[in-house]
Amino acid sequence: MAPDVTNERVVRVLPDVSGLRKSFDYLVPDALADRVRVGTQVRVVLHGRRLGGWVVADDVEPDPGVALRPLASVRGWGPPPSVLSLAEWAAWRWAGPVSGLLRTASSSLAVRTLPPAGTGRGPSAPPPPAVPVGPGGAVEPGGAVGPGGAVGPEGAVGPGGGDELAGAALAGGTAVVRLAPAADPSPVYVAAAALLGPHADGAGVLVLAPGHRAAADVARHLRRQGVPVALLPGEWAAARAGGRVVVGTRAAAFAPLSRLVAAVVLDAHDEAYHEERAPTWAAWVVVAERARRDGAPCALVSPCPTLEVLAAGRLVTASRAAERRGWPAVEVVDRRADDPRTGMFSERLVHLVRRAGAEGRRVVCVVNRTGRVRMLSCAACGELARCENCGAAMELVGTPPGSRLARRPPTTIPAETTASVATAETTASVATADDVVPHLRCRRCEGERPVVCARCGATRVRALRLGVTRLAEDLQALAGVPVAEVWGPPRPGQDDDAVRRAALVVGTEAALHRAGPADVVVFLEFDAELLAPRFRAGEQALGLLARAARLVAGAAGGRAGERASGRVVVQTRQPRHPVLEAAVAADPGVLAGAEMELRTALDLPPCSALAVVSGAAADAYGTALRAAAPPGVQVTGPADGTWSVRAPDHAALCELLASVPRPTGRLRVEVDPVRA
């Protein structure tokens, strides 16, 4: 039974349907009138279906002659009008539906009442010191800044970062704060919290961290300072009430604050801030735009800001001595002259892992490949071990006892890989019914076959690329201590505490997040990162080194120029690469300068705006984009079913993407692709 409607109040509702971009008008029943406002989550009936949605406009003039339905019910509080407007901008900026962004900005639970607003600044959170800002955004005196994020002369904002650096970061507008990995970022977000006063309009301070653990640490630190905090997503209602510092991860960029007083994004370079699902929005860009709209200071903090981050605002750095103290020693192991039979195990690595066994020093080894052996070739003819079904590379695995292959009659099957430092092949072993029988398996289609070359029939294979599991076996033999393996997020039953206690850890990039503090971090095959087929590969590689530096960084030395404790070791055949030169010099500006020169020559972001179109409907959409593209916008493709759209700036790019109707069928539009 429909509720009584005696007034003529009409609201516009955007249904929560991903493929629907149109909003519809509804009447507001008297019983719901005092609970309906812009942003409220409601339930409506549309084409016979009961759907959720958001009120996006109030007191609208409906189209004449249209019979309107009443709202079915009110679910609860939704984001404030300012966040609705921000979501509409983000949908245009990243060529996606508004509904998905509003879903991010809303609580997963129905919120029908709000707590009282926060009380404002805590007694132990002093306001940041005033730092004058000169023309073009330059911090005076000595800050390394420039208009539009240009890198100026290196200079000292303060003797060690600290409160003066925080004051420069929050002096106004958007600032890019280059803070060394071992430096403490808390003065920046504590100073931002100190700007929080008692606000009755739902305003607050926003702090983003790349991971849930880091966000919880920030919230805990601020609460100890006496600052009212709302940690998202669990405390959404408190955030919506305002008067608090709202802390969260990527989704918190759309935190339900009506207005920002200040904003801080920690580790702004981190890829965790980029949404992988379409629309592929970037949280730090959303926060910077939000702060600009509210006239609030915004600090983008990073040990190695990307060129896109640097272009967002003025650069603020500590003195060279202070920044150098915040980076540990980075040791580059040049492997160009090494015997290729040693595989990934240089003499330096052997020395380090044996010290881990003998002296109890923690060593974390990183290689971004899982499994035992990820690429094999025939030891006789060199043919790659490939699947007969799909052509993908096959890996060497063992079959548990009792399986079909293990029940074969006893036979001689060589299980040969680089099992030691000195040799790349091992002798054959006799497998019995109780043994784990080595065989080849395709990771794509899961096809299996015995260890037999499809070209010459030889039964010996050589490992070209070892995975984490095989490396763990070999390192355990070298060090004589148990080795913990880490890849991906924790699996059920896996004990992260055991990983943190292990003297020797080997894993993918996930080890940098889960292994805990270490004395040494070794990148076994860093050339794979430096040579990755992505134009952002250099920045991403430096980000890995910064993350490793944070693991090994202890207390900074007492004398100027003294490095933080610990060591990062990089095995490479490109010792003069700008990424490594920047890390060794503790100066990310070395890479920024080289990358900017390259990007300018190739017209790549941030010198241009880029989008990648893929999916079943990509050809139809790409053809339409090419026909509608204005001068200066390039639409190229298809290449392997993918189209690229490059424009001088995001305004031209996004206007083109918005102006061309989308064809039916699966379509993915990725603006600012991270992995391109």
- On average, the pLDDT of the chain sits at 82
The predicted-structure confidence for 119-167, as pLDDT tens digits, reads as follows 765 544 455 554 444 433 434 333 333 333 333 333 344 434 467 889 9
Q: Residues with Cβ < 8 Å from 504, sequence gap 6 or more?
A: 353, 356, 357, 362, 363, 365, 475, 476, 479, 481, 482, 483, 484
Percent of the residues in the chain that have a pLDDT greater than 70, as a whole number: 80
pLDDT band at 353 (very low <50, low <70, confident <90, very high): confident
Cis peptide leading into residue 575 (ω within 30°): no
Q: Give the architecture-level CATH label for domain 10-105.
A: 3-Layer(aba) Sandwich (3.40)
Domains of the chain, by residue range, sit at 10-105, 135-324, 327-369+471-598, 374-464, 609-671
Pairing of the two strands 634-639 and 642-647: antiparallel
389 pLDDT exceeds 90? Answer: no
Q: Which CATH class is domain 609-671?
A: alpha beta
How far is residue 57's CA from residue 53's CA, in Å, rounded to a whole number? 12
Task: Note the pLDDT of residue 455.
Answer: 83
The predicted-structure confidence for 207-237, as pLDDT tens digits, reads as follows 999 999 999 999 999 999 999 999 999 999 9
Pairing of the two strands 298-302 and 174-178: parallel
pLDDT band at 201 (very low <50, low <70, confident <90, very high): confident
Task: Note the pLDDT of residue 259.
Answer: 95
473 pLDDT exceeds 90? Answer: no
Cis peptide leading into residue 303 (ω within 30°): no
The predicted-structure confidence for 324-333, as pLDDT tens digits, reads as follows 999 999 999 9
Task: Give the mean pLDDT of 586-602.
Answer: 95
Return the CATH number of 327-369+471-598, one of 3.40.1360.10, 2.40.50.140, 3.40.50.300, 3.40.50.410. 3.40.50.300
Phi-psi region of 266 (alpha: psi -120 to 50; beta: other; left: phi over 0): beta
Between 345 and 141, the more confident residue is 345
How far is residue 407's CA from residue 411's CA, in Å, rounded to a whole number? 11
Return the CATH number of 135-324, one of 3.50.50.60, 3.40.50.2300, 3.40.50.300, 3.30.1330.90. 3.40.50.300
**Coil, strand or helix at 8:** coil
Tokens of 395: 């890996």
Percent of the residues in the chain that have a pLDDT greater than 90, as a whole number: 55
88 pLDDT exceeds 50? Answer: yes
Q: In what order do the strands lie in the sheet with 10-15?
A: 24-27, 10-15, 49-58, 41-46, 73-76
pTM: 0.82
559 pLDDT exceeds 60? Answer: no
Q: Is 648 exposed, middle or buried (0-12, 13-18, 19+ CB in 10 A)?
A: middle
Task: Note the pLDDT of residue 558.
Answer: 40
The letter for the amino acid at 128 is P
- Same fold? 10-105, 327-369+471-598: no
